[in-house]
Amino acid sequence: MDAEETIAVIGAGLMGHGIAYLFAAAGHTVRVYDPAPSALASLPDRLDVIADLLGHEADVPARVSGHETLAAAVDATAYVFEAAPEVLELKRSIFAELERHAPRSAILASNTSAIPISRIAAGASAPSRIVGTHFWNPPHLVPLVEVVQTDNDNLPAVDKTIALLKAAGRHPVHVKKDIPGFIGNRLQHALKREAIALVAAGACDAETIDDVVKHGFGQRLAVLGPMEQSDLVGLDLTKNIHDTLMPDLDRTDHTHPLLERLVSQGHLGMKSGKGLREWTPEQAEAVRRRLRDFLYKQSPP
């Protein structure tokens, strides 16, 4: 893969700046578009923070430039990664603009967390070059990227994107069905569905949920996936547990009322001081620092 290929990132927010950084670290020239002047103005400082964390020289963030128009950012690019807000209509309008301004040969990727890619590509004149690339936060530290296939037509674009990501030191996986939430968020939110239901049912408090995960099976998750773990303990044991447990697990088929209520009361989590748990600014900052330090230690050099 040619490290000199130019890459555009649409949206300079939490995800966009990290995606831009990781491609710059792989040697690419990266152009970033964001309509918010404040996002473009703060971009260099936010890239410098990553460079400091990773011990990179200034030439890495210097490969990233901010642009006030989408057309300027995507000119002569090989790949475009969209990381704008999670709103279907907005993403559709961005992809319509990308079709107008990006080179015909460019692969267009969306970093949507959960929206099926075919919904974003609906109405596109060349949907076969549109793929999903679901990075994880922070994208410069977490190696996984889910690359989403919509149908057989976009398979060549999926293969090229996987090659690009591997060359950039990421760990891409191929998601073969264009389903809401792809793989990672389906797994993550299946766990959250049960966690929220347990708290709502009074089985434990939210802190206990976190303790059970962090001090229990979470300790091994980074080195032992659930399929490996099932095979390790034996599928006979796994089946016996499922025979007892499956009928009892939560099967609410909509957002849980406890979550609805907290959001409607303005309890949004760390940013409002209360969510499922209560947070002082210092406690919230300590969690962020702990996470960043841990992920940094895990990340490849």
185 catalytic, yes or no? yes
Q: Round to whole Å and give the CA distance between 74 and 5.
A: 12
| 196 part of the interface to ligand NAD, by CB under 6 A | no
Residue 33 C-beta: closest distance to ligand NAD, Å: 6
Cα(first)–Cα(last) distance of the chain, in Å?
20
Q: Are 277 and 207 in contact, with CB atoms under 8 Å apart? A: yes
Tokens of 203: 């089985």
Which of positions 74-93 make contact with ligand NAD (CB under 6 A)? 83-86, 90
Size of the site for ligand NAD (CB under 6 A): 24
Q: Cβ of residue 57: shortest distance to ligand NAD, in angstroms?
A: 26
Residue 113 among the catalytic residues: yes
Q: Tell me the C-alpha distance between 290 and 301, whole Å.
A: 19
Q: Look at residues 133, 65, 129 and name the one whose alpha carbon lies nearest to residue 102.
A: 129
By CB under 6 A, residue 30 contacts ligand NAD: no
Shortest CB 137 distance to ligand NAD, Å:
3
**Binding map of ligand NAD across residues 121-140, x = CB under 6 A, - = no contact:** --------------xxx---
Cβ proximity to ligand NAD: between 87 and 221 the closer is 87
Of positions 29, 42, 65, 113, contacts ligand NAD by CB under 6 A: 113
The token pair that represents 150 in the structure block: 């919509």
- What are the percentages of helix, strand and coil residues in the chain, rounded to 5? 55, 15, 35
Instruction: Determine whether 134 is an active site residue.
Output: yes
Q: How far apart are CA 252 and CA 3, in angstroms?
A: 47
Residues lying near ligand NAD in the complex (CB under 6 A): 10-16, 33-36, 39, 83-86, 90, 94, 111-113, 135-137
Residues forming the active site? 113, 134, 146, 185
